[in-house]
Amino acid sequence: MHEFTCGHQECGSQFTSSNKDVLMSQVVDHLKEAHAVPKATQTLLAYLEATCVTTVPDR
């Protein structure tokens, strides 16, 4: 499982998915809805993937 924890202060939303591509598409939706980022760039997503996504054991 891959887990995303939003690094934005006062947000801290978490998503998990077994598929990292699915997870990153949820991140894109989250940025749009929660952080007014209409179009996340590959640079931003790569940064978020490196800093906010961790691998967790399957439950």
Asked if 46 is part of the footprint of Zn ion (rule: CB under 5 A), the reply reads no
Site size toward Zn ion (CB under 5 A) is: 5
Q: What is the rounded CA–CA span in Å between residue 27 and residue 4?
A: 8
CB of 1 to Zn ion, least distance (A): 19
Element (H, E) at 49: helix 42-52
Asked if 22 is part of the footprint of Zn ion (rule: CB under 5 A), the reply reads no
* Closer to Zn ion by Cβ: residue 22 or 35: 35
CB 26 within 8 A of CB 3: no
Interface positions with Zn ion (CB under 5 A): 6, 8, 11, 13, 34
